Amino acid sequence: MTQKNIDEKTLPARSGYPFLLLGILMMLASLPVYIAPCVLNASAAVIVLMVVLGTALLLGGILLLCGLHIINPNEALVLALFGNYYGTLKEAGFYWTNPFAGGLNPSVKIPAVTASGSGVSVASVNKKVSTKIMTLNNEKQKVNDQQGNPIEIGTIVIWQVTNPTKAVLNVENYKNYLSMQCDAITRNTARCYPYDTGENDEKSLRGSTQEVADIMKKELQEKADSAGITIQEVRITRLAYAPEIASAMLQRQQAEAIIDARQKIVEGAVGMVNMALHKLSEDEIIDLDEERKAAMVSNLLVVLCGNKDPQPIVNSGSIY
């Protein structure tokens, strides 16, 4: 069965102050109606009539007061009348609506009735939907990246309800819905990229954090549209290897760093040796044969590529 799309309908603003005054006056007017037959010693028929009239005034005043609603800034109230969508109050103010129309918000749990020494108390239920910008802190979760390495990743989502009607009517609990969708998209995105790729142009979780976060935001927004939620921003707050492989991966990174450093050292040493031989030959400082060039290249490479400081040896004779 397909889900019926309900268009949001904003209720016309109807000030609640006249209805508040009228409700109070009706309730106050019921008191003399109840008292008058006793004071005037009226007949039984008149007493019954006055009791009915006083009860009608009292119930009418209570009914009028039940239709009053206070909407604070950045709040909305979705109303339903006898099982049908009635309308939404979105502007801040004091309003009166049909007293039989009740607020809808499945994400709000109805508190249980509590009994105490002074009697039975029931906590009030706020059915209003907040349209403020809120933050969802998605705690770290362990997933496998594209290369199968277990990693820990955590995200933070900045979101806002922009369509309260969809948030209340289209999903059971829009907060839980957003949290579950964020978990699923975080896991799915982490599996599509490796943790790190070194100096390659390929995207990775560590090297392309902002790009990956933007992809997560786009996918999450597609899921959140049906709940009337707008995703403002998605950020990756935690990214690390899982503890069981963190030590091994650290050694691997250190080995790769040493190899990269050695490669640069060798490239620089070869360039310096080439420059030295070229300058000696160009300036005609000394004429070296192939054997002497080989010896010079060997000595320079040892000096330039060695881990320790070289120990100079003074040669007072010929190299032959």
Integer angstrom CA distances of residue 143 from 15, 105, 192, 260:
54, 34, 11, 29
Written as six digits, the tokens of 116 are 């105490």
Residue 256 has pLDDT above 60, yes or no: yes
Integer angstrom CA distances of residue 52 from 33, 56, 65, 93:
9, 6, 20, 35
What is the rounded distance in angstroms from the CA atom of residue 258 to the CA atom of residue 293? 29
Residues 6 or more apart in contact with residue 78 via CB below 8 angstroms = 85, 88, 103, 104, 105, 127, 129, 164, 165, 168, 169
C-alpha Rg value of the chain to the nearest Å: 39
Q: Which domains does the chain have, with CATH numbers?
A: 17-106 (no CATH), 133-241 (3.30.479.30), 255-305 (no CATH)
pLDDT 10s digits, 259-308: 777 777 777 777 777 777 777 677 666 666 666 667 666 766 666 666 66
Where is pLDDT greater, at 246 or 84? 84
**Are residues 205 and 194 in contact, defined by beta-carbon separation less than 8 angstroms?**
yes
Q: Which residues pair with 89 in a beta bridge?
A: 77
Burial of 216 (0-12, 13-18, 19+ CB in 10 A): buried
Q: Count of CB atoms within 10 A of residue 7's CB?
A: 8
Q: Count of CB atoms within 10 A of residue 105's CB?
A: 20
Q: Which residue has the tokens 């975080």?
A: 186
Note the pTM of the prediction, 2 decimals: 0.69
Q: Residue 255 has what pLDDT? A: 65
**Closest by Cα among 259, 130, 148, 154 to 199:** 259
Integer angstrom CA distances of residue 237 from 137, 148, 156:
9, 21, 7
**Are residues 104 and 165 in contact, defined by beta-carbon separation less than 8 angstroms?**
no
Residue 155 has pLDDT above 60, yes or no: yes
Strand ranges (E), the chain: 68-71, 75-81, 84-89, 93-96, 102-104, 114-116, 119-121, 129-130, 134-144, 150-161, 229-241
Q: Residue 116 has what pLDDT? A: 47
Residue 120 has pLDDT above 80, yes or no: no
Lowest pLDDT segment from 141-150, 221-230, 274-283: 274-283
Q: Residue 198 has what pLDDT? A: 62
